[in-house]
A = this chain, B = another copy of it.
Amino acid sequence: MRVSTKVRYGLRAVIELARSSGDFGGRRKPPLRTDTERGGMKCIIHRGLVPLTWIAEQQNISLKYLERIFGRLKRAGLLESSRKRGGGYRLKKSPDKVTVGEIMRALGDETSLLRCVRNADVCERSKRCATRGFWKSLSDLIDMTVERTTIADFL
């Protein structure tokens, strides 16, 4: 019952993204240019687009690994990006609309503790199983928590 490092890193990185972006998604426009400095490092962020190099350095995560993680998050519709000199990633929605659950799902971690919890058919004893109800309610508890807390809660 451990959370994968993909999700750990992913969550940390998305929080870092939101912090550094200066963008808060949605209608409000991000500043044209922000100069950020932290821990001896500098970064110039254009229109809220944060380059991965910055996030990787700040959070001490391998750039290559982060690229893969952000690729998945983008494909899941959580991020948008720009390839170019002053490019990077940006949240597609405002931080208070992005849930931890979304990130987990995008990165392949399921919140249900057992397969049968969401799909009773995977096991023929599901109906009369004494334990399924328990695992299901625990999974639901986790689900609720994870779906209720957003990136904004970390800022």
A residues at B contact (CB < 8 Å) = 1-3, 8, 11-12, 15, 60, 100, 104, 109-115, 125, 129-131, 134-135, 138, 141-142, 145-146, 149, 153-154
Asked whether, in the complex, the Cβ of A60 is within 8 Å of the Cβ of B125, the reply is yes
Knowing A130-B154, A138-B142, say if A111 contacts B15 (CB, 8 Å): no
Given contacts A3-B113, A131-B154, 18 further A-B contacts (CB under 8 A): A1-B1, A1-B2, A1-B3, A1-B109, A1-B110, A1-B113, A1-B142, A2-B110, A2-B114, A2-B115, A3-B135, A8-B114, A8-B131, A8-B135, A60-B125, A130-B154, A141-B141, A141-B145
What's the least CB distance linking A147 to chain B, in Å?
A: 12
Q: Which of A2, A11, A153 has the most CB of B within 10 A?
A: A2
Nearest chain B residue, comparing its CB with the CB of A144: B141
Q: How many copies does the complex hold?
A: 2
